[in-house]
Amino acid sequence: MRRVSSLWLFAALAILLPVIALFSMTVGTVSISIAEAFGAAVAAVLSGSEIAGQTQVILFDIRLPRILLAVLVGAVLASTGAVMQGLFRNPLADPSLIGVSGGASVGASLMIVLAGGAVESGMLMGLSLVAAGAFVGGFAATLLVYRLATSGIGTSVTTMLLAGIAIGALAGALNSLLSYFADNDMLRQISLWQMGNLSAASWAKVSIMGLVALILLVRFPRDSRALNALLLGESEARHLGIDVQRVKRRLIVLTALGVGVSVALAGMVGFVGLVIPHVVRLLIGPDHRWLVPCSALAGAILLVVADSLARVVVLPAELPTGILTALLGAPFFIALLLQQRREV
């Protein structure tokens, strides 16, 4: 595949994201034109006047926080995917390899089964008990994988990969066990949560996700040199002055934080952390100075597009966003792999 300029791709994605986000403001059960949405936003900002009831609620209380949450979750999932692929030196790796997704799923399912109907009424820092349980479960699973892979001589990437697979299998078994004991209502809640959904977006969730995204998207570029060095191998990276163990620990903790919060707020949204970094790498190469920010922008675009389609495909109902990301990402990824195989 012919490479494109990293700067041009970054600029194109940076321009495309707000355009798609603005278009997404008009999409949903209630149709609002771009002119109406833009005019309403300008009027609210410049004059401070309130928009008429329904339009104000739809634009600024429902759609805007949902779009911003999609942007932030997509950016975090894609950037952590790029980092994990660099850390594992495997372009087909994704953040779930360190156990965070499986652990989050167990945590959420456990809260649904134990708390029953109180999962939405019980709140912690503006989050439901399900979201809090998902974050704790995901972070705990990642810490367990890290401890299993760490010895006196450092953290083995191979062992961490195998430990992640084992923890993922254990998480799957625990989820099945919890589903077995759940009643019909609980089972439906578990299933819907595992499909991924942004319909419960709120400004509180946007604030939490925004803080986490800011931490990751400021920190990850500073580790680009270390990730580029790790592509040569750990011994070579050490010879270049990289503290490999410290970098691994920092990146794993940041990934667990980002993916844990993303899964807690949006459920299981698949393929973003796998497909987007791989596609961007095919376009611009493996330089993490550009790979991480371009992946973040592309991931944000993909999730906004998927969520917009989820709102209109089966009107007046909505599809879970995670279904759309898989339906969009999987065929595109397969087509890229087939094209790459033909070029070899």
Return the structure tokens found at 246. Answer: 């410290």
Q: How many CB atoms are located within 10 Å of the residue 125 CB?
A: 8
309-334: pLDDT as tens digits: 988 888 777 888 888 888 887 787 78
What is the maximum alpha-carbon separation in the chain? 64
Residue 16 is assigned to a structural domain of this protein = yes
Residue 333 is assigned to a structural domain of this protein = yes
Q: CA 209, 215, 220, 226 torsion: positive or negative?
A: negative
Q: Above 80 in pLDDT, residue 23?
A: yes
Residue 240 is assigned to a structural domain of this protein = yes
Range of the domain at 288: 6-343
Q: CA 255, 256, 262, 263 torsion: positive or negative?
A: positive
User: 194 or 126: which carries more pLDDT confidence?
Assistant: 194
Under 8 Å CB-to-CB from 323, ≥6 apart: which residues? 195, 196, 310
User: 192 or 37: which carries more pLDDT confidence?
Assistant: 192
- CATH number for the domain that contains residue 177: 1.10.3470.10
pLDDT band at 159 (very low <50, low <70, confident <90, very high): confident
Count: domains in the chain: 1
C-alpha–C-alpha distance, residues 206 and 258, integer Å: 13
pLDDT band at 185 (very low <50, low <70, confident <90, very high): confident
Q: Above 60 in pLDDT, residue 224?
A: yes
73-95: pLDDT as tens digits: 999 999 999 999 998 888 778 88
C-alpha–C-alpha distance, residues 171 and 264, integer Å: 16
Report which DSSP code applies to 313: T
DSSP letters for 171-185? HHHHHHHHHHH--HH
Q: Above 90 in pLDDT, residue 35?
A: no
Residue 220 is assigned to a structural domain of this protein = yes
Q: In 3D, which of 5, 15, 60, 34 has the Cα closest to residue 300?
A: 15
Task: Using CB atoms within 10 Å of the CB of residue 25, give its burial: 0 to 12 exposed, 13 to 18 middle, 19+ buried.
Answer: buried
Return the structure tokens found at 321. Answer: 């966003």
Residue 22 is assigned to a structural domain of this protein = yes
Q: Above 90 in pLDDT, residue 298?
A: yes
Q: How many CB atoms are located within 10 Å of the residue 334 CB?
A: 10
pLDDT band at 1 (very low <50, low <70, confident <90, very high): low
Residue 152 is assigned to a structural domain of this protein = yes
Give the per-residue pLDDT at 223.
Answer: 92
Q: Above 70 in pLDDT, residue 52?
A: no
55 beta partners: none
Residue 1 is assigned to a structural domain of this protein = no
Residue 338 is assigned to a structural domain of this protein = yes
